[in-house]
Amino acid sequence: MVRALPFQGDKAALVVGVLRGHPGAAAAFHDRYARRIYGLIYRLIGPSTDLEDVLHDTFVRALEALPKLKDPEALDAWVMGVAVRTARTRLQSRARRWWLRLMPEDSLPDAPAPEHDPVTAEALRATYRVLSTLPVDERIAFVLRSASGMTVDEAAQATGVSRSTLKRRLQRAEATFAERAQLEPALEPWLSGGEP
């Protein structure tokens, strides 16, 4: 049995290890970020059969671009930025696939999801229906702040835009989401602040 050498070290050592081809560094890189990236991608694009593909694409892009990283201490934010840009590309690609709009939403396959109570499951579907109506950049700003809990500065850095641009996108997204969410009965308990 052959095992990769375990990798230990801080962010700078991890970056150097990956760049130098240390056998355990790439695995350590994946182990360090996979869950966080998957969670972020899920919140950005919603339940989807291509979540694993977007996760894979994120790691491929990150490993290809790693030599361009100037400050290894910024690795966490940099990786999240790669994930946001990868998810953004996927969302834009979805928007361009006009032929999917010709199919009734109910005929598209649902991504496997953990068991939820029916009320919560319908609220989640309603949330992503509303999110799907937002422009991609506004959707990303909204999800990064509301669902991922990033600060404005963190979200701006992850999306590669200025703080003021992020705030403008967020303001438009919040207003549009609030307006359109009113049309979703499944979201009423959450909007009114009551118990679902």
The pLDDT, as a whole number, for residue 156 is 92
| Domain 9-106 class in CATH | mainly alpha
The pLDDT, as a whole number, for residue 146 is 87
The pLDDT, as a whole number, for residue 53 is 93
Looking at CATH, the fold of the domain delimited by 114-196 is given as Arc Repressor Mutant, subunit A (1.10.10)
Could you give the residue range(s) of every CATH 1.10.10.10 domain in the chain? 114-196
Could you give the residue range(s) of every CATH 1.10.1740.10 domain in the chain? 9-106
The pTM (predicted TM-score) of the whole model is 0.75
Which segments of the chain have a pLDDT < 70?
1-5, 95-116, 194-196
The pLDDT, as a whole number, for residue 190 is 77
The pLDDT, as a whole number, for residue 47 is 83
Backbone torsions φ then ψ of 48, nearest 5 degrees: -160, 150
Q: How far is residue 13's CA from residue 169's CA, in Å, rounded to a whole number?
A: 36
**Which residues 6+ apart lie within 8 Å of 184 measured at CB?**
126, 127, 129, 130
